[in-house]
Amino acid sequence: MEKNLDMIVEQISKIKKENKKVYTKDVYEIIQKYMKLEINKTPVIEQERKLYYISAEFLLGKMLTCNAVNLGILEDLKKIVENEGFTWDEIQDEEKEPSLGNGGLGRLAACFLDSIANLNLAGDGIGLYYHFGLFEQKFKDNKQIEVPNKWFDTTSWFTKKDVLFKVPYKNGYLEPILYDMEIVGRQHTHNILHLFDLKNVDESLVREGIEFDKQAVDKNLTLFLYPDDSDEAGRKLRIYQQYFMVSCAAQMILEEADQRGWKIDELDQYVVVQINDTHPTMIILEFIRLLKERGFMLNQAMKIVSGMCAYTNHTILAEALETWPYSYLKDTVPQLIEIIEALDAVMKERNSNPSTAIIDENQNVHMAHIDIHIGKSVNGVAKIHTDILKETELKDFYKMYPTKFNNKTNGISFRRWLCTCNPELYLYLKKILKNDPSSNPNVLKRLIMFADDEEVIRTLQKIKLHKKQEWVKHMKKKQGIDLNPNAIFDTQVKRLHEYKRQQMNALYIIYKLLKIRRGWKPQRPIQVIFGAKAAPAYTIAKDIIHVLLCLAEIIRNDASVSPYLQVCFIENYNVSEAEKVIPASDISEQISLASKEASGTGNMKFMLNGAITLGTNDGANIEIAKLVGKENIYTFGKDSNTVIEHYKNCDYVSKDLYEQSDEIKELVDFIVSDEMLEVGNQESLIRLYREILNKDWFMTLLDVEEYIQCKEQMLNDYENRLKWGKMMLKNIAMSGFFSSDRTINEYNEDIWKI
Ligand code: 26Q
């Protein structure tokens, strides 16, 4: 390895000898090319059984640093680039981040690939190669606008390959091509992420913003992730996309089976397919179709596929549970109809309860129901989430198939969310624990021994301050704003959704703004940080972004407030931004309405990096609270049972809460105050105001008072620097459980058995 790294130095010298200036881009390209070759030389992980993790999203993040971590050459590379007068971050900044995912489910898939390779398990990822992926977010007039995100260029971790099979489409076929990327682990072995693309995709179809001709499926299929599905053409396009993904996946797996001599009638001995939410559900139908083509009877085919497929549920929001009109499926994937009908009949025979039907009485096909009936395993992603699935949402299925249900609490890759994003903390922990927490997460517990060691606590705080300073510099460069590294960093970064309740945080900001104007100045400046994209057609989510940007402007321009309170919205929040802001944060906002956040994984990233959770009793927050104890977390709000009861009884009336409390009324009214209307858009502000007043489906006003009190308590406690430092230490110490290595070991023991 040593000698090889010299090659990098030599190539840089070569540019200099030609009397040329060396740019960061040159250095990035040299190192990337070198690393790609090295990774290619490592052997493919091969075992008796193999996992295929199939997912519509893989939110990978930039790969240079993480790959260097896994190859064990990061520190050496840093020395080389520093010798040349660069910083490592400048070099890493040259890479474009793949835009192949949107949120938690996609980032989870990427963490899982990292863990699977690091645990030396044979497991590939399969998905789609979207040319523009998820849109790039820009802010204009305090509003989100969307532009295509052209994320790949000539330097790529992916290698383009031809494939021989084709995907049935109308009266002919669609032709796929394949992009493969090696996923390397610490053992210097690798798996592969396979992303399929349409050979004839036409990028010039994209018009204004992210608009494009939705009808031209044979040219637009892989342009965008989650194309707008507010009309029939959009919804059908999504079906075509999903079918293309799963047909390629199934054909590739069968091809591999043939090559390896795996007997098709016992394919479940060799292959396990993990279905990441319902987007890839049609793989069950496609496998059955392909096995029938190979001469199997329906029953035989069903049995083989049942033994191979396992399903993960990531949501209990009714509107996110996918159903397709039967008529749309007939129009788009007629080759699957016979199989859907057959499965529907068999399952109606098994259970006549309409709640478990594949095709319901309104002629809608429930994708999750296919997974649960046919798949061998159904898992939720945090304890409370799995319990809610069993007890409420999927209770009739749980009665039918109690042994299929199991929990796999999510996790995060410590290689990315500690080593890569916070090398200072990582190296310090490694030093004092005399062990590597990124490969042995449980050693973090030993940190408890230092809970009363003031020097350790002060070092953790010094690292936090350093990460804040780095982030402040980054934001100055990126968005031209001046921030104060000595403020408390209070951060809410995640997709924008009403159930995540960024609007409740907005009400807190209004509360604080009014307090400060009335003379109640906080002891220390508060920096409220947001990062969030709203789905382009999700109007209320965009209204919430608008309110937050308007508040930021009002505060920025009010000299009586801005020294004490600032609101900063990270534009185009993505994995790279997360890696920078999470290590810099003090407060981790995890304030979803109890019962609605399946797990959350940001909560784990903050915890590992020494931020303290301000959260509801929801998702994995509950497991964090159990681990750290109630003195090391700030919880508030109504619990999931209360919330579920409110929904059942339809007895939550936000207007009552508004009218009963002058304080709440004042905060909500501020949204449509003259000063807001002056900087904002009237239609948007009034719409959000009315939504909160008349609907508030995710019960913001139910918890807002407790939320404000709890945050105030937290800000007070922050001033006891030793107490806060101890809380940081305890959170870091208990975060080992949330390593995705633990999660993957559980999947493997209970489901995959590789
Ligand atoms: C559905 C229908 C139509 C169009 C799009 C969709 C759609 C798209 C994406 C539905 C769901 C998603 C993504 C869901 C997701 O990211 N869920 C998150 O998964 C994380 C990993 O398990 C959890 O930690 C989060 O709690 C959960 O919200």
Average pLDDT over residues 38-46: 97
Give the pLDDT score at 598: 98
Higher-scoring residue by pLDDT: 129, 209:
129
Using 50, 70 and 90 to split pLDDT, how confident is the model at 362?
very high
* Residue 380 beta carbon below 6 angstroms from any ligand 1 atom: no
* Atom in ligand 1 nearest the alpha carbon of residue 600: 24
Using 50, 70 and 90 to split pLDDT, how confident is the model at 19?
confident
3-state DSSP helix/strand/coil % of the chain, to nearest 5: 55, 15, 30
Query: Nearest CA to 474 among 424, 426, 421?
Result: 421
Tokens of 63: 């790969």
* Atom in ligand 1 nearest the alpha carbon of residue 592: 26
pLDDT at 710 over 80: yes
Which of 315, 319, 384, 743 has most ligand 1 atoms within 8 Å of CB, for mutation?
A: 315
CA of 103 to the centre of ligand 1 (A): 7
H or E element: which one contains 160?
strand 159-162
* Residue 227 beta carbon below 6 angstroms from any ligand 1 atom: no
pLDDT at 173 over 60: yes
- Give the C-alpha distances (Å, rounded to integers) separating 524 from 485, 489, 507, 595, 719: 11, 11, 20, 34, 8
Give the pLDDT score at 318: 82
Give the pLDDT score at 157: 98
Strand partners, 276: 312
* Residue 314 beta carbon below 6 angstroms from any ligand 1 atom: yes
Instruction: Specify the residue with its C-alpha closest to ligand 1, atom 14.
Output: 105
Burial of 503 (0-12, 13-18, 19+ CB in 10 A): buried
Tokens of 545: 């972004």
- CB neighbourhood size of 29 (10 A): 17
CA of 313 to the centre of ligand 1 (A): 9
CA of 621 to the centre of ligand 1 (A): 18
* Residue 601 beta carbon below 6 angstroms from any ligand 1 atom: yes
* Atom in ligand 1 nearest the alpha carbon of residue 106: 16
CA of 315 to the centre of ligand 1 (A): 6
Query: What's the CA dihedral at 64, 67, 72, 76 to 10 degrees?
Result: -10
* Residue 226 beta carbon below 6 angstroms from any ligand 1 atom: yes
Give the pLDDT score at 321: 87
Q: In one letter, which amino acid is 658?
A: Y
* Atom in ligand 1 nearest the alpha carbon of residue 619: 26
* Residue 532 beta carbon below 6 angstroms from any ligand 1 atom: no
Model confidence over 422-479: pLDDT tens digits? 999 999 999 999 999 999 999 999 999 999 999 999 999 999 999 999 999 999 999 9
Helix (H/G/I), strand (E/B), else coil: 73? coil
The CA distance from 180 to 193, in Å, is: 6
Model confidence over 493-518: pLDDT tens digits? 999 999 999 999 999 999 999 999 99
* Residue 229 beta carbon below 6 angstroms from any ligand 1 atom: yes
Give the pLDDT score at 316: 85
Give the pLDDT score at 208: 87
Average pLDDT over residues 525-533: 98
- CB neighbourhood size of 268 (10 A): 17
Average pLDDT over residues 310-337: 95
Query: Nearest CA to 561 among 529, 515, 516?
Result: 516
The CA distance from 244 to 163, in Å, is: 14
* Residue 125 beta carbon below 6 angstroms from any ligand 1 atom: no
Instruction: Specify the residue with its C-alpha closest to ligand 1, atom 20.
Output: 104
Model confidence over 249-261: pLDDT tens digits? 999 999 999 999 9
**Mean pLDDT of the chain, nearest integer:** 97
The CA distance from 242 to 370, in Å, is: 15
Q: Contact 703/503 with Cβ under 8 angstroms?
A: no
pLDDT at 3 over 60: no
Strand partners, 180: 159, 194
Average pLDDT over residues 711-718: 98
Helix axes 454-479, 423-433, angle to 10 degrees: 160
Give the pLDDT score at 154: 87
Give the pLDDT score at 599: 98
Q: Contact 177/159 with Cβ under 8 angstroms?
A: no
The CA distance from 155 to 158, in Å, is: 9
Query: Nearest CA to 59 among 114, 118, 117, 102?
Result: 102
Q: Is the dihedral of CA 208, 209, 213, 218 positive or negative?
A: positive
Query: Nearest CA to 428 among 406, 444, 448?
Result: 444
* DSSP string covering 294-312: TT--HHHHHHHHHHHEEEE
pLDDT at 245 over 60: yes
Tokens of 303: 């049995």
CA of 711 to the centre of ligand 1 (A): 28
* DSSP string covering 104-154: HHHHHHHHHHHHHHHTT--EEEEEE--SSBSPEEEEETTEEEEE------S
- Give the C-alpha distances (Å, rounded to integers) separating 712 from 205, 269, 362, 425, 490: 51, 56, 50, 28, 12
- CB neighbourhood size of 257 (10 A): 16
Burial of 293 (0-12, 13-18, 19+ CB in 10 A): exposed
* Residue 409 beta carbon below 6 angstroms from any ligand 1 atom: no
Average pLDDT over residues 44-73: 97
The CA distance from 250 to 244, in Å, is: 10
Give the pLDDT score at 149: 94
Give the pLDDT score at 92: 97
Range of lowest pLDDT (88-102, 312-326, 336-350, 352-366): 312-326
Tokens of 371: 């997974």
**Chain centroid to CA 559: how far?**
37
pLDDT at 1 over 60: no
- Give the C-alpha distances (Å, rounded to integers) separating 535 from 406, 488, 495, 575: 31, 30, 9, 17
Give the pLDDT score at 541: 98
CA of 614 to the centre of ligand 1 (A): 22
* Atom in ligand 1 nearest the alpha carbon of residue 597: 26
Which of 105, 230, 282, 321 has most ligand 1 atoms within 8 Å of CB, for mutation?
A: 105
Tokens 């699935």 belong to which residue? Answer: 389
* Residue 104 beta carbon below 6 angstroms from any ligand 1 atom: yes
Using 50, 70 and 90 to split pLDDT, how confident is the model at 320?
confident
Give the pLDDT score at 280: 98
* Residue 619 beta carbon below 6 angstroms from any ligand 1 atom: yes
Average pLDDT over residues 22-35: 96
Helix (H/G/I), strand (E/B), else coil: 636? coil
CA of 182 to the centre of ligand 1 (A): 25
* Residue 738 beta carbon below 6 angstroms from any ligand 1 atom: no
User: Interior CA angle at 657 toward 651 and 661, to 5°?
Assistant: 160
pLDDT at 2 over 80: no
Give the pLDDT score at 434: 98
H or E element: which one contains 208?
none
Using 50, 70 and 90 to split pLDDT, how confident is the model at 109?
very high
Instruction: Specify the residue with its C-alpha closest to ligand 1, atom 24.
Output: 600
Model confidence over 644-689: pLDDT tens digits? 999 999 999 999 999 999 999 999 999 999 999 999 999 999 999 9
Catalytic residue numbers, as ranges = 314, 494-495, 500, 601, 605
Instruction: Specify the residue with its C-alpha closest to ligand 1, atom 25.
Output: 600
CA of 595 to the centre of ligand 1 (A): 15
CA of 200 to the centre of ligand 1 (A): 29
